[in-house]
Amino acid sequence: MPSIADRMRSHIADLEPYTPIVPLDVLAERLDLPIERLVKLDANENPYGPSPRALAALAREPYYAIYPDPDHTRLRAALSAYIGQPAARIICGSGADEIIDLLLRLFVEPNDVVIDCPPTFGMYAFDTSVCAGQALAVPRRADFTLDIDGIERAAMESQAKAIFLASPNNPTGNPAPPAEIEQLLNLRVGPQALPVLIVVDEAYIEFTADNSADRQQSPGVSYWVGAYDNLVVLRTFSKWAGLAGLRVGYGLMPEAIAVQLWKIKQPYNVNLAAQVAAIASLEDLDYLRGNVARIVAERERLLVALQELPFLLPYPSATNFILCRVTQGDALTVKQQLEQQGILVRYYRTPLLRDYIRISVGAPEHNDRLLTALQAVAEGAPVKGQ
Ligand SMILES: *Cc1c(COP(=O)(O)O)cnc(C)c1O
205 C-alpha to ligand 1 centroid (Å) = 11
Residues of the chain with pLDDT under 50: 211-215, 383-386
Is 39 inside any structural domain?
yes
Instruction: Give CA 70 to chain center in angstroms.
Output: 24
What span, in angstroms and rounded, lies between the C-alpha atoms of 322 and 302? 9
Is 385 inside any structural domain?
no
Supply the pLDDT for residue 334. 97
Is 137 inside any structural domain?
yes
Supply the pLDDT for residue 217. 56
Is 383 inside any structural domain?
no
Which residues, at least 6 apart from 7, have a Cβ–Cβ distance to it below 8 Å?
none
Specify the amino acid at residue 120: T
Ligand 1 touching residue 167 (CB < 6 A): no
Task: Kindly state whether residues 141 and 202 are assigned to the same domain.
Answer: yes
Last residue of a domain, one of 284, 319, 335: 284
Task: Kindly state whether residues 293 and 155 are assigned to the same domain.
Answer: no
The total of structural domains in the chain comes to 2
- Structural domain boundaries enclosing 227: 52-284
Supply the pLDDT for residue 384. 42
The Cα-based distances of 241 to 47, 96, 204, 262, 364 in angstroms read 10, 13, 11, 25, 18
Ligand 1 touching residue 170 (CB < 6 A): yes
Task: Kindly state whether residues 212 and 95 are assigned to the same domain.
Answer: yes
What span, in angstroms and rounded, lies between the C-alpha atoms of 314 and 88? 41
Supply the pLDDT for residue 1. 87
Nearest CA to ligand 1 atom 5: 96
Ligand 1 touching residue 269 (CB < 6 A): no
Last residue of a domain, one of 284, 316, 350: 284
Task: Kindly state whether residues 252 and 126 are assigned to the same domain.
Answer: yes
Is 104 inside any structural domain?
yes
What span, in angstroms and rounded, lies between the C-alpha atoms of 196 and 194? 7
Nearest CA-CA partner of 249 in 206, 302, 292: 206
96 C-alpha to ligand 1 centroid (Å) = 6
What span, in angstroms and rounded, lies between the C-alpha atoms of 183 and 170? 21
| Distance spanning both ends of the chain, measured CA to CA | 57
85 C-alpha to ligand 1 centroid (Å) = 21
Is 386 inside any structural domain?
no
Is 384 inside any structural domain?
no
Task: Kindly state whether residues 217 and 312 are assigned to the same domain.
Answer: no
Buried b (16+ CB within 10 A) or exposed e, 132-141: bbbbbebebe
What's the Rg (C-alpha) of the chain?
A: 21
Specify the amino acid at residue 298: E
Is 235 inside any structural domain?
yes
Task: Kindly state whether residues 158 and 247 are assigned to the same domain.
Answer: yes
Nearest CA-CA partner of 342 in 366, 310, 375, 307: 366
Last residue of a domain, one of 230, 250, 284: 284
203 C-alpha to ligand 1 centroid (Å) = 6
What span, in angstroms and rounded, lies between the C-alpha atoms of 288 and 279? 13
Task: Kindly state whether residues 363 and 233 are assigned to the same domain.
Answer: no
Is residue 44 within 8 Å of 360, Cβ to Cβ? yes
Task: Kindly state whether residues 365 and 335 are assigned to the same domain.
Answer: yes
Here the CATH number for the domain that contains residue 166 is 3.40.640.10
Here the CATH number for the domain that contains residue 11 is 3.90.1150.10
Specify the amino acid at residue 184: L
165 C-alpha to ligand 1 centroid (Å) = 12
Task: Kindly state whether residues 41 and 177 are assigned to the same domain.
Answer: no
Task: Kindly state whether residues 207 and 323 are assigned to the same domain.
Answer: no
Is residue 76 within 8 Å of 90, Cβ to Cβ? yes
Ligand 1 touching residue 238 (CB < 6 A): yes
Task: Kindly state whether residues 294 and 363 are assigned to the same domain.
Answer: yes
Task: Kindly state whether residues 310 and 189 are assigned to the same domain.
Answer: no
What span, in angstroms and rounded, lies between the C-alpha atoms of 258 and 267? 14
